[in-house]
Amino acid sequence: MNRKTFFIALLTAGSMHAHAQETKTEPFTISVYANAGIPSKQFKEAVSNQFEGTGVGIGSSVLFNVKGKKELSPLALGIDFSYLTFGRDKIAATSGAPPHKTTFNFYSVSAVSRVILSKRETGFTPFIDGMVGVKIVNTRTKIDKNVLNILLNNDQPEVINNTNDYGLGYGLGMGWYTRKMAGDNGQGTASFTLRIMYLWGDQTSYVKRGSMQVNNGYVSYETGHTNTNMVLIQLGIFISSPTKF
């Protein structure tokens, strides 16, 4: 091999190594969201809050590239968590009891599969998500403590009633994020992400708003049944794992 051939081979190998280092693979990604839930008509009547039924909260998902560190894949699998609160009711203090507050909450923990609709290593990246998992409708009644209550009544239990109803939940939706090249040291990247999901599932029991009563420490309330169908709008940060190896 003459000198010219040797240098050409060396440059070619170096170019291939640099390209391999710059290749985007996304072995795993993390998304953190701010949530807004817009319920169906039936669920809206059940939550019956002052914000036209809208719930707010947070969410997160972790997804793994099914091809690991080898290359970009059109499919990622992982787990998804969402929390929403639909407001609270308050019960004023009486001569024999402190004030109380009741919060109305929704949780979901689901397996998620993501179909990624772009093969490009950088730029706008749309996706479709499907989910199935457990949904929880929660109602929690607590003593509405202020600073004085905390200082003078430490022996009082804070949570006096907690109800949960579990059901199977499903979700289907789509969104996007922006793929970016890793930095010189292979560090991960971050971008804004938007996801819109439609959630539905089993009929669920719930505590009716305004029905919670506390008498001498005894809690009473009325229940009903509703679907928990809603449009979930999620805006947040998408974090891609390091991609150079």
**What pLDDT score was predicted for residue 2?**
57
| Confidence band, pLDDT 50/70/90 cuts, at residue 215 | confident
**What pLDDT score was predicted for residue 68?**
76
Strand partners, 161: 141
Per-residue pLDDT tens digits for 30-63: 999 999 999 999 999 999 888 889 999 999 999 9
E-assigned strands of the chain?
Answer: 28-39, 55-65, 75-91, 100-116, 123-143, 159-179, 189-201, 204-207, 213-215, 218-220, 223-226, 230-240
| Confidence band, pLDDT 50/70/90 cuts, at residue 154 | low
Per-residue pLDDT tens digits for 89-106: 888 777 777 788 899 999
CB 214 within 8 A of CB 141: yes
**What pLDDT score was predicted for residue 9?**
45
What are the sequence ranges of the domains in the chain?
25-240
**What pLDDT score was predicted for residue 198?**
98
Q: 7: phi > 0 → left, psi -120 to 50 → alpha, else beta; which?
A: alpha
**What pLDDT score was predicted for residue 185?**
57
Per-residue pLDDT tens digits for 2-37: 555 533 443 344 434 334 344 567 888 999 999 999
Q: What is the CATH number of domain 25-240?
A: 2.40.160.20
More reliable by pLDDT, 118 or 229:
229
